[in-house]
């Protein structure tokens, strides 16, 4: 495997640190790019502004319990499935993965009825056909579209096609809402098939079928949890970067990109220290990346205005429950609870009207879980009045706001877990403000920039910027989630090899 020219490393911060590649941000995209490029023999330095790496994958401790920020499950890890080859390359497959129930990895609760999503495309269709016997052929067509879209992604990755090449997929130009309504041909089935999609923003006017189908397909392939928290992924990737000679620097906030002769020559961090690099990758929001280089003849105003004007998806309010011992039995699935049968509109109709309920694998190997997370969509406008505050200093009104919302979330979960409120030892909450402050996401967005099937070339962002050796990665570009970010990291690495003048495998 050809690596490229090595640059001497100077780890004494009194000197200029020199690397082949500097990466801004240690979210999943930054870590994956760092790991892949370090394995090729390039010297890599990842700069992370927070005290710990991980972005939305980071976990935190409260009262002796570990809680996840954004990770709850992943799809497509079985043999021959979408994420398996990359996770093997990244050294992630030997983590303690637990397969979720094949006969019901997701439960969708509408009114007083539950519907279960099974793993495997044929089993998925047959499981729901038991509830909708007259729509068996519709369900088969739905499952076939999921599979075909997923296979298209696999072919694209195998061929090494760039991110912009993926726009040719016809599923990009179709609204997921229209496809579902036409394919289901039944109002209840339409909402059931949409019901496990709190893993994306269900926006009827903009959501491309491609996004809906790729994400749902990966979970229909197979769904997995970690025995432990998401920091295991972060730790493994960071360990692999370091093992291959790279560095992951925390407490290192990028403050300026330094341009020399039309290329980025260095990244300034913490207002004075520098990393010199032949190629720079940013895992930060594209608009935030451009703010690090306010003047450049290479970057036109229209490009800046485009990236700064793009709308972001909604955020989440999360309730982290530390449960009393032996009170709630572990459930090996995710539960999606809705106040009404209007799944696409519920996130705006009422607070906690749409909730995702997920639990941690028992740490002692027993029957009872110690940790339940409840997530519900929350729009920035709900917390905007506290936008100028910082963590721990938002005041009594904000604390009361969170308390009321947390009670609604627990009440929603009690529809499937009766008596849950009495089982709670301690409760911790987070809002889009928390996500903004800890992960750097714009307006606390959960899924990055909103993709619009009517404006694909405007809302889909390529890794390549107008500066040849400045690249982008992460959930804002092509597709969000672990699948989307992992896919995008491959595209970014392909462009990095071009920028470094290295031959491709």
Per-residue pLDDT reduced to its tens digit, 492-501? 999 999 999 8
Task: Give domain status of residue 236, yes or no.
Answer: yes
Residue 263 φ/ψ, nearest 5 degrees? -130, 155
225 sits in the region (left: phi over 0; alpha: psi -120 to 50; else beta) called beta
8 touches 15 (CB < 8 A):
no
Q: How far apart are CA 358 and CA 229, in angstroms?
A: 13
The pLDDT value given to residue 182 = 95
CB 9 within 8 A of CB 64: no
Report, in this order, helix, strand and coil percent for the chain, each rounded to 5.
40, 20, 40
Judged by DSSP in three states, 223 sits in strand
Residue 486 pLDDT class (50, 70, 90 cuts) = very high
**Residue 16: predicted pLDDT:** 59
Strand 273-282 and strand 470-472: the pairing is parallel
Provide the 3-class DSSP secondary structure of residue 285. Answer: coil
For 130-156, b where at least 16 C-beta lie within 10 A, e where not — what string? Answer: eebeebeebbbebbebbbebbebbeeb
Is the per-residue pLDDT at 165 higher than 70? no
* In-domain check, residue 33: yes
Assess if residue 339 is contained within a domain. Answer: no
Domain presence at residue 485: yes
Q: Does pLDDT of 158 surpass 80?
A: no
30 assigned to some structural domain = yes
Looking at the structure of the chain, the number of domains it has is 1
416, part of any domain: no
The 10s digit of each residue's pLDDT in 297-316 is: 999 999 999 999 999 999 99
Domain ranges, residue 496:
17-64+229-311+449-500
Phi-psi label, residue 25: left if phi above 0, alpha if psi -120 to 50, beta otherwise: left
Hey, which residues does 377 pair with through a beta bridge? 316
Structure confidence at residue 159 (pLDDT): 56
**What confidence tens digit (pLDDT) does each residue in 32-61 have?**
999 999 999 999 999 999 999 998 888 888
Residue 109 lies in a domain: no
| pLDDT at position 82 over 90 | no
pLDDT tens figures, 228-267: 888 999 999 999 999 999 999 999 999 999 999 999 999 9
Nearest Cα neighbor of 362 from 320, 321, 327, 330 is 330
pLDDT attached to residue 14:
42
**What digits encode the pLDDT tens for the residues 272-283?**
899 999 999 999
* CATH code, 491: 3.50.50.60
Residue 440's region, left for phi above 0, alpha for psi from -120 to 50, else beta, is left
- Report yes or no on 172 lying in a domain: no
Q: How confident is the model at residue 156 (pLDDT cuts 50, 70, 90)?
A: low
Residue 284: other Cβ atoms inside 10 A: 25
Contact predicate 165/159, CB 8 Å: no
Location of structure tokens 């110690």: 370
Mean pLDDT of the chain: 90
- State the pLDDT confidence band at 363, using cuts at 50, 70 and 90: confident
Q: Which residues contact 484 (CB under 8 A, 6 or more apart)?
A: 214, 215, 475, 478
């Amino acid at each position: 495997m050809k690596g490229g020219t090595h640059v001497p490393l100077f780890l004494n911060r009194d000197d200029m640190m020199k690397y082949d590649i500097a990466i801004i941000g240690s979210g999943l995209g930054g870590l994956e790019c760092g790991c892949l490029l370090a394995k090729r023999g390039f010297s890599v330095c990842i700069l992370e502004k927070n005290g710990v790496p991980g972005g939305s994958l980071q976990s935190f401790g409260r009262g002796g319990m570990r809680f996840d920020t954004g990770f709850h499950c992943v799809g497509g890890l079985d043999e021959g499935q979408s994420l398996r080859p990359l996770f093997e390359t990244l050294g992630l497959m030997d983590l303690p993965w637990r397969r979720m129930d094949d006969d019901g990895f997701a439960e969708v609760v509408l009114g007083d009825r539950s519907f279960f999503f099974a793993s495997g495309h044929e089993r998925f269709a047959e499981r729901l056909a038991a509830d909708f016997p007259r729509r068996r052929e519709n369900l088969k067509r739905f499952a076939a579209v999921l599979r075909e879209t997923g296979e298209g992604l696999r072919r694209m990755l195998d061929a090494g096609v760039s991110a912009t090449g993926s726009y040719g997929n016809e599923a990009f130009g179709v609204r997921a809402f229209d496809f579902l309504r036409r394919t289901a041909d039944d109002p209840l089935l339409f909402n059931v098939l949409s019901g496990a999609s709190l893993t994306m923003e269900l926006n009827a006017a903009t959501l491309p079928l491609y996004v809906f189908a790729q994400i749902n397909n990966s979970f229909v392939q197979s769904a997995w949890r970690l025995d432990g928290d998401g920091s295991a992924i972060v730790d493994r990737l960071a360990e692999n970067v370091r093992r291959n000679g790279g560095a992951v620097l925390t407490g290192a906030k990028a403050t300026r990109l330094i341009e020399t002769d039309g290329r980025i020559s260095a990244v300034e961090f913490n207002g004075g220290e520098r990393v010199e690099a032949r190629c720079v990758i940013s895992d930060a929001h594209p608009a935030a990346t451009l703010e690090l280089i306010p003047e450049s003849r290479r970057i036109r105003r229209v490009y800046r205005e485009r990236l700064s004007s793009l709308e972001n998806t909604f955020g989440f309010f999360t309730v982290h429950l530390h449960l009393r011992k032996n009170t709630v039995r572990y459930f090996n699935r995710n539960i999606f609870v809705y106040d009404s049968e209007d799944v696409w509109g519920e996130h705006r109709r009422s607070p906690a009207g749409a909730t995702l309920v997920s639990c941690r694998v028992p740490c002692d190997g027993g029957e009872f879980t110690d940790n339940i997370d409840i997530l519900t969509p929350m729009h920035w406008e709900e917390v905007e009045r506290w936008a100028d505050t910082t963590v721990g200093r938002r005041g009594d009104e904000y604390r009361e706001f969170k308390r009321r919302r947390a009670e609604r979330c627990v009440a929603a979960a009690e529809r499937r877990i009766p008596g849950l409120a009495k089982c709670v030892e301690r409760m911790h909450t987070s809002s889009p403000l928390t996500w903004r402050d800890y992960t750097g996401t714009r307006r606390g967005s959960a899924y990055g920039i909103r993709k619009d099937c009517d404006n694909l070339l405007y809302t889909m962002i390529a890794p390549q910027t107008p500066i040849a050796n400045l690249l982008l990665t992460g959930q804002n570009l092509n597709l969000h989630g672990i699948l989307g970010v992992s896919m995008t990291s491959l595209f970014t690495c392909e462009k990095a090899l071009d920028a470094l003048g290295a031959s491709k495998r």
